[in-house]
Amino acid sequence: MTEHSSELSTPGAGAAPVAARPAGSEVTLPERFENPGLAPHRDRVADRDPAAARGAARRIALLFGVSMLGSIGFVVAYVAAPSDGTVTGVRNSTLYLGIALFLAMFGIGAAAVQWARTLMSDREIVEARHPQRTSDADRAAAIEVLRQGAADSAIGRRGVLKGALLSALALAPLTVAVPLVGEVGGTWNVNAFRHTLWKKGTRLTLDPSGRPIKAEDVVEGSIVHVIPDKLRDSEHWIEEKAKAVVLMTRIDPAVLKEAPDRAGWSYEGIVAYSKICTHVGCPVALYEAQTHHLLCPCHQSTFDIADGAKVVFGPANRALPQLPITVDDEGYLVAQSDFTEPIGPSYWERLK
């Protein structure tokens, strides 16, 4: 710090009491207690010895160097040891990234602390202020308002109400705390997100009736909400439905762009995608037929289903997973397999 106004001073021990002066006023306010002053400033080694100061500067530069190595190491680890989706791969990648990030942050932090402790000025500075205590009259008025409020509420005279109020306030936080603690102790099996009820030959059926859908019934431009056949036979069908819901539409095959690794995943322009937004999992349900855009109402992520449901706008960072489909002997739409990647929001262990 540097001295920057006439209000600042660097007193030694036993300095005279400071009489503060509010801006624009000549009135001198009394001190509440005597100014104890400050102990005399003691120079540090680096203040007295230029060689020690140079040594401190070298140590600080070294710590910044550690930070630089950590940052470079982070980039190297990110490129050279990416997570491959296996438990070992995730663990190793996390370990390398964590160590490098620690060094990068620790180096900067430790250097800053060292710099402040050894080389920056440590001269004490005192800023005098006028007393901030409110007047006795204001205090009395505030207390009177509180008293009046308590009297108006009649809480003093009604012990039952007082007890009920305190009990209700004490119990209310449980509604938040119990689910939180329960979730922490619950199952954290993220593998459940890797699979849905879809498998080879499962018919696509209308949500919620469960009626199978023929390819010829799917009209271009319409959007169809789809669930797997025999969904309700599943033990936890509501959870399974939350993962397996699909949106299907028919697009002019001339405008449909199929990636080479997804050739044959659509049927005569009919495409099916997971309905679960890859941002934080809202149902994506607003379809604009002219642009072929699917919009998530939660945060406006927009997916182009004519082009692999890639993200064209919004916070989602990956395309909607596509369900490979075809038709069976009777012309009903069926899945070729499960989704080939986890549905829903991104999470740390998901396959790339």
Binding site for ligand FES (CB under 6 A): 277, 279-282, 296, 298-299, 301, 314-316
Question: 243 vs 279, which CB is nearer to ligand FES?
Answer: 279
Burial (CB count <10 Å: 0-12, 13-18, 19+), residue 240: buried
- CB of 50 within 8 A of CB of 58? no
Query: Measured from the CB atom, is 11 or 315 closer to ligand FES?
Result: 315
CB 38, CB 126: distance < 8 Å: yes
Question: What H or E segment, with its residue span, contains residue 116?
Answer: helix 87-118
Minimum CB separation of residue 321 from ligand FES in Å reads 14
Cα–Cα dist 214/227, whole Å = 14
275, two tokens: 């309905």
Our CB check for ligand FES shows the closer of 204 and 343 to be 343
Name the β-bridge partners of 314: none
Q: CB atoms < 10 A from the CB of 147, how many?
A: 11
Q: How far is the CB of 279 from ligand FES (least distance, A)?
A: 3
Q: How far is the CB of 288 from ligand FES (least distance, A)?
A: 15
The distance of closest approach from Cβ of residue 255 to ligand FES in the complex, given in angstroms and rounded to an integer, is: 24
Is there a contact between 77 and 93 (Cβ–Cβ < 8 Å)? yes
Q: How far is the CB of 296 from ligand FES (least distance, A)?
A: 3
Is the CB of 65 or the CB of 297 nearer to ligand FES?
297
Closer residue to ligand FES (CB): 67 or 274: 274
